[in-house]
Chains A and B, each alone.
Chain A
Amino acid sequence: KQEVTQIPAALSVPEGENLVLNCSFTDSAIYNLQWFRQDPGKGLTSLLLIQSSQREQTSGRLNASLDKSSGRSTLYIAASQPGDSATYLCAVSTSGTYKYIFGTGTRLKVLA
Chain B
Amino acid sequence: DTEVTQTPKHLVMGMTNKKSLKCEQHMGHRAMYWYKQKAKKPPELMFVYSYEKLSINESVPSRFSPECPNSSLLNLHLHALQPEDSALYLCASSQGAGGGEQYFGPGTRLTVT
Which residue numbers of A lie inside 8 Å of B, CB to CB?
31-32, 34, 36, 41-46, 49, 89, 91, 93-100, 102-105
Contacts and interface: CB of A to CB of B under 8 A. Distances in A.
A98 B50 contact: yes
A10 B100 CA distance: 28
- Tell me whether chain B's interface is mostly helix, strand or loop, or mixed: strand
Contact of B98 (A45, A91, A93, A104): A93
B105 A99 contact: no
Contact of A98 (B31, B42, B88): B31
Contacts of A103: 42
A96 B36 CA distance: 23
Given A45-B104, A46-B104, A99 B42 contact: no
A104 B100 contact: no
5 contacts: A31-B98, A42-B106, A49-B101, A97-B98, A103-B42
B100 A32 contact: yes
B45 A100 contact: yes
Highest count of chain B CB atoms <10 Å: which of A102, A104, A105: A102
B97 A96 contact: yes
A44 B90 contact: yes
A75 to B, nearest CB: 15
Contacts of B50: 98
